[in-house]
Structures are given as C-alpha cells and as structure tokens.
C-alpha cells in the first residue's frame, strides 16, 4: 500500500475542507459562536437573570462554633434559611441569622445591614451578577449528616450537598482573642450530570465564604482598637456593622481576596470538578460539531462515488484499501484540526471574557493531546460508520445529524446531561468529561482515552468494511 498515495488523497480532502467557506462556517464559526454565547450566559458577563431556579441542595452544618459566633450557621442560613418563626434553639445559631438578601440582626439595631443586592457567582474565574433572589435560585434543606446528604445527591434528590466542617468558625474566626486564620474547606458534593447547577451553588458558597472571611478580617481590624482586650462583644460589632454609614463606607472591602476558605468540589464519583462553561459546554459543543465534520468528511466517499471521482481513483493502480485509508485519514485530520482550532479559540474567548490569559484546558499538554487524538479517533469512527450505513449523501447527512444530536444530548453539549449511565454511550460525554477533568487538574483520563480509542477503532473498522464491500459491488 502506497503511503504517498494515502497522503495525497488525505491532503486533497483536508485542503478541500479548509478552503470551503461554508464548511468552515459550520465547522469552526458555529461551535465557537455557540460556546461563546454559552460562556457569556453562564460565565458571568451577561446581565440577564440566572437561568436556573430552585436548585435542590442539602446543607450539613457541622460547625461547632467558637462560643460567641457560629459562622457555619451564617453560611447554612444563606443556603437553606430556616422557615420564618422557626429559629433554632441553639443560641449559637442566632448569631448568624441571615436571610437570603438581608442580614437582619434582630433586637440589636433597627437599621438592617443590607448585603450586596445580588449574589455574585464566580464561574470560570469571573463575576456574574444575578438578579435572581437567592431563595428563588436555591431550594435548600438542612440535613443532619454528611452521609445522608451524599446519599441524597447520589439518589438525585439533591443536586449538591454542602458540608460545612466542625472547625469552620474557629478556623475563619478573627477576633481580638484569636487572630489566627486557619485554612478550611467547605465540601461541595455535586451531581456531575448537572454541572451548571453545581457550579452555581459552588460559586455562591465560595462567595459567601470569601465575604465572611474578608468581612470578618475587616471588622476585626476596624474594631480591635476600640474593643477592650480580652472582652470581645459580638453584639457591639454587629450593631456597628449594621449601621447605614458602615454599610456605605465598608462594603467595598467585602471583596474576594485572600480568603482562607477553599471549596472542595467533588462529583458523585469523587472526582474533582471545576466548572468553566467554555471547557465543559465548549468542549461538548466542539465534539458535537466534530461529529458533523466527521460524518460530512466520511460521507465525501459517497459523494465522490456519486460524482464518479471515486471510481476514477479506483481505476488507477491504487488499492481500495489505500483509497479508503486516505479518505478516513482526511476525516481524522479534519476533526483534529477543527478541535485544535476550537480549543485555541475558546481559550481566546475565555481571555476576552475574563480578562486574563489562561490555557483553560489544564496544564498537562501531553494528556490534552492524547485526549484530543482519542476524541478525533472516536468521532472519525462514528462518522465512518454512519456514512457507511447510508446509501447516498442525503441519507448520510440525515443519519449523521441524528447521531450527532443524540450524542450531544447524551453528552451534555446543551447544558444538561442525562444521567443513569446512558451518557456513557456518547463520545461527547467521554471527551467533554476528560477535558473537564484535565481543566480541573485531574489527570485520570485513562478510561476516557481508552473508551474513545476503542470506540473509534471498532466503528472505524466496521465502517471501513462496509465501505469496502459497497465499493467492490
């Protein structure tokens, strides 16, 4: 088999693809535009309302407090406010009685402290101002144990479980008597099938944590000089904090810098998970469109047969094996170049949206390359088998579209993902999941790469055989 002839066929097809303006529009511009829109919508620049409501979350507050304060209650009350008139019997709980938008410290001051009007959601590194009140966005339930909360997430009852550690208050508390800040972790246990909801909850928790820590530091540094040493009075602190003058003067300091609180987000499988819509949905969209490309490119064999050019090549001293290998190599290269372009472009979009240059696909370039190749193989195989199943170019387009949309829906390319294991049937899922892991610094993508490669090899082989048989007849 002549390698030169294979490369000639492949090069002819690749050149044909990337000099066709219409194809470029479909292959590159469309997924880039859709991903950018999704990035803007979910990533923080849009001023529109948050796209989700009533996200079911379970909150477990294990915080034992510091005597006067229970910061865990503050977080828990924000995420899962107690019903009106149902104040906790625990006196510690009174100290953090936030409702969704207002810090009301009853009986201390008539001037309630108004939290910033909106919930700022960090997602993909940028701030999003959502006008949706938090109590509309979240449907929080207090749960007594982490096990119960996790079980609820695994059963689908909750999207996310937020677990506040027992040492939370002592770790983040900054008082005249304890001026040591200790890094602490709020665990967010998420359903991987609902990445957007999980990410929003994670961002809220993160922001609340950041505000709590920085606000606490600011208050303490402001009030320490006027407080008698060894006699901190939280009621006094809060009455000062609740004044209008304080709110106007100090609220600007409630910014997310230097937080000692980190968020440990895990999926049901226990994987680390960071939601950047340009990675999760952008990669899924890229793979979705790559399936179209693969199908279109593989279908060009049928198109060439219809136009007589395939027969003309077959009339030359070129074995059919070489012809088909060249055609499918072109399909693979088209997909590879498309994905590569989209990854770079989405990185550029991320830079434009969030204002900082960052390679969003993770730092492990060799593994990113491996998964890129594996996805290209998987989609090429899928394209080959769907094109081979068709009897004419029109049929190939129809079958290819159905397969692509089916894979995209299963794989989460439209912002939601079907659970129950059915998502494992989709190359979009395996590819997007691998990119999300790599972006989160999790290099455990061996299974993803294996599944994609194996899937590609099997479908490629079957498609190849069907094509070869058709062309012989």
**Which residues lie near other proteins (CB under 8 A)?**
2, 4-5, 8-9, 12, 16, 19-20, 307-309, 311-319, 472-473
Smallest gap from Cβ 397 to other proteins, in A, equals: 19
**Rounded-to-integer distance, Cα 33 and Cα 306, Å:** 33
Q: Are 110 and 28 spatial neighbours (Cβ–Cβ below 8 Å)? A: no
Closest to 13 in 3D by CA, of 297, 302, 359: 297
Smallest gap from Cβ 318 to other proteins, in A, equals: 5
User: Is residue 125 helix, strand or coil?
Assistant: coil
Query: Which residue, 228 or 317, is less far from other proteins as judged by CB?
Result: 317
Query: Which residue, 5 or 211, is less far from other proteins as judged by CB?
Result: 5
Query: Which residue, 53 or 312, is less far from other proteins as judged by CB?
Result: 312
Q: What is the sign of the dihedral through the CA atoms of 60, 66, 67 and 73?
A: negative
Query: Which residue, 86 or 473, is less far from other proteins as judged by CB?
Result: 473
Compute the residue count for the chain. Answer: 473
**Rounded-to-integer distance, Cα 223 and Cα 239, Å:** 12
Smallest gap from Cβ 50 to other proteins, in A, equals: 47
Query: Which residue, 180 or 315, is less far from other proteins as judged by CB?
Result: 315
Smallest gap from Cβ 469 to other proteins, in A, equals: 11
Smallest gap from Cβ 2 to other proteins, in A, equals: 8
Q: How far is CA 66 from CA 95, 176, 215, 340, 393, in A?
A: 11, 13, 17, 52, 71
**Rounded-to-integer distance, Cα 128 and Cα 56, Å:** 21
The b/e string for 221-253 (b: 16+ C-beta within 10 A; e otherwise) is ebbeeebeeeebebeebbbbbbeeebbeebeee
Smallest gap from Cβ 394 to other proteins, in A, equals: 18
Smallest gap from Cβ 28 to other proteins, in A, equals: 18
Kindly state the tokens that stand for 293. Answer: 């490309």
Query: Which residue, 16 or 133, is less far from other proteins as judged by CB?
Result: 16
Query: Which residue, 221 or 311, is less far from other proteins as judged by CB?
Result: 311
């Amino acid at each position: 088999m002549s390698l030169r002839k294979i490369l000639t066929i492949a090069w002819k097809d690749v050149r044909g693809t990337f000099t066709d303006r219409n194809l470029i529009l479909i292959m590159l511009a469309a997924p880039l535009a859709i991903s950018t829109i999704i990035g803007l919508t979910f990533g923080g620049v849009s001023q529109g309302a948050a796209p989700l409501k009533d996200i079911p979350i379970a909150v477990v507050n294990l915080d034992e407090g510091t005597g006067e304060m229970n910061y865990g209650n503050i977080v828990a009350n924000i995420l899962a406010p107690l019903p009106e008139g149902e104040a906790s019997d625990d006196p510690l709980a009174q100290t953090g009685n936030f409702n969704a938008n207002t810090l009301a410290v009853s009986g201390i001051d008539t001037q309630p402290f108004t939290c910033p009007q909106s919930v700022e959601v960090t997602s993909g590194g940028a701030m999003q101002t959502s006008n949706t009140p938090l109590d509309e966005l979240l449907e929080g339930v207090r749960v007594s144990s982490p096990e119960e909360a996790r079980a609820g997430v695994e059963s689908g009852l909750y999207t996310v479980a937020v677990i506040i550690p027992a040492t939370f208050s002592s770790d983040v508390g900054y008082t005249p008597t304890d001026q040591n800040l200790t890094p602490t972790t709020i665990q967010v246990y998420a359903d991987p099938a609902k990445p957007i909801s999980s990410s929003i909850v994670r961002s809220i928790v993160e922001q609340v944590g950041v505000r709590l820590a920085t606000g606490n530091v600011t208050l303490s540094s402001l009030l320490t000089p006027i407080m008698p040493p060894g006699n901190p009075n939280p009621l006094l602190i809060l009455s000062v904090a609740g004044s209008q003058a304080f709110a106007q003067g100090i609220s600007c300091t409630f910014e997310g810098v230097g937080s000692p609180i980190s968020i440990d987000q895990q999926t049901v499988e226990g994987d680390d998970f960071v939601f950047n819509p340009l990675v999760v949905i952008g990669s899924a969209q890229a793979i979705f469109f790559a399936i179209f490309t693969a199908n279109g490119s593989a279908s060009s064999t049928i198109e060439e047969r219809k136009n007589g050019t395939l027969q003309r090549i077959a009339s030359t001293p070129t074995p059919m094996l070489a012809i088909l290998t060249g055609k499918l190599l072109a399909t693979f290269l088209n997909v590879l170049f498309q994905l590569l372009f989209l990854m770079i472009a989405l990185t550029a979009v991320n830079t434009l949206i969030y204002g900082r240059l960052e390679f969003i696909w993770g730092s492990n370039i060799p593994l990113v390359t491996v998964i890129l190749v594996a996805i290209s193989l998987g989609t090429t195989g899928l394209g080959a088998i769907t094109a081979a199943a068709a009897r004419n170019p029109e049929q190939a387009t129809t079958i290819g579209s159905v397969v692509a949309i089916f894979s995209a829906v299963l794989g989460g390319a439209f912002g939601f993902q079907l659970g129950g294991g059915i998502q494992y049937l989709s190359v979009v899922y395996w590819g997007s999941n691998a990119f999300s892991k790599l972006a989160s610094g999790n290099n455990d993508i061996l299974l993803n790469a294996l599944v994609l490669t194996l899937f590609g090899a099997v479908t490629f082989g079957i498609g190849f055989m069907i094509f070869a048989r058709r062309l012989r007849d």
